[in-house]
């Protein structure tokens, strides 16, 4: 069984990442699994999730999985033509904050990156086409607190892990996709 293509889409907030990812998914196949990683932890995030759900095609199957993305992709990758993961940004945050007391522990940080490496391997090997969306958070100000700095650094490394495995990488700038790999 041949493997599908892994496509990574990154960029700043509100740069058009999700919109481009959804259009790409539509062009790749009819059988699409949408893997959402957001958790409705406050009213604003609950509203965002609601808007994303309403915008999504009703022919797509949505799976809400904030932590165990690799396991879900491993299964869905054999059943679906396309898997869209939106987004690595929140998945990484969810993994990091599972145990807030360990955030500064380098061993905990490495465990998180091992989870991301596992996800990258699974996404690379499955027969489905996989699209992963993430934010580029390392191009702005240095966060003024430890959690912010640790998160920025881990997400930067997570993005690098996915980009390294990806067949194609796009950077979204003001709604314009720039192909930087593949």
Q: How many domains does the chain have?
A: 1
Residue 147 located in a structural domain: yes
Over pLDDT 90: what percentage of the chain?
81
Residue 82 structure tokens: 């396309």
Q: Average per-residue pLDDT in the chain?
A: 93
59-to-27, 31, 54, 72 alpha-carbon distances in Å: 14, 8, 12, 19
Pairing of strands 176-181, 168-173: antiparallel
User: Tokens 């720039």, residue?
Assistant: 178
How confident is the model over 103-135, as pLDDT tens digits?
999 999 999 999 999 999 999 999 999 999 999
CATH code of residue 167: 3.40.50.300
pLDDT at 56 over 70: no
Range(s) of the domain holding residue 110: 6-181
State pTM to two decimals: 0.93
> In this model, does residue 23 exceed pLDDT 80?
yes
Where are the alpha helices (H) located in 35-145, listed in sequence order? 43-55, 69-76, 88-96, 106-125
| DSSP symbol at 148 | H
Catalytic site positions: 52
Residue 1 covered by a domain:
no
Average pLDDT over residues 18-40: 92
Domain presence at residue 165: yes
pLDDT band at 51 (very low <50, low <70, confident <90, very high): confident
Q: Does residue 167 form part of some domain? A: yes
């Amino acid at each position: 069984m041949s493997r599908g293509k892994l496509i990574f889409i990154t960029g700043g907030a509100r740069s058009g990442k999700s919109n481009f990812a959804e259009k790409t998914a539509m062009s790749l196949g009819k059988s699409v699994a949408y893997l959402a990683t957001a958790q409705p932890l406050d009213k604003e995030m609950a509203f965002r999730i609601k808007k994303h759900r309403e915008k999504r095609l009703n022919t797509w199957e949505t799976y809400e999985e904030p932590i165990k993305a690799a396991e879900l992709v491993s299964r869905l990758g054999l059943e679906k033509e396309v898997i869209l993961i939106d987004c690595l940004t929140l998945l990484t945050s969810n993994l990091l904050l599972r145990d807030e007391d360990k955030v500064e522990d380098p061993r905990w940080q490495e465990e998180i990156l091992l989870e991301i490496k596992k996800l990258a391997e699974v996404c690379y090997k499955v027969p489905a086409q996989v699209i992963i969306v993430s934010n580029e958070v390392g191009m702005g100000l240095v966060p003024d607190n430890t959690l912010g700095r640790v998160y920025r650094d881990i997400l930067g490394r997570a993005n690098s892990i996915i980009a390294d495995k990806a067949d194609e990488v796009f950077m979204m700038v003001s709604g314009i996709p720039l192909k930087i790999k593949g």
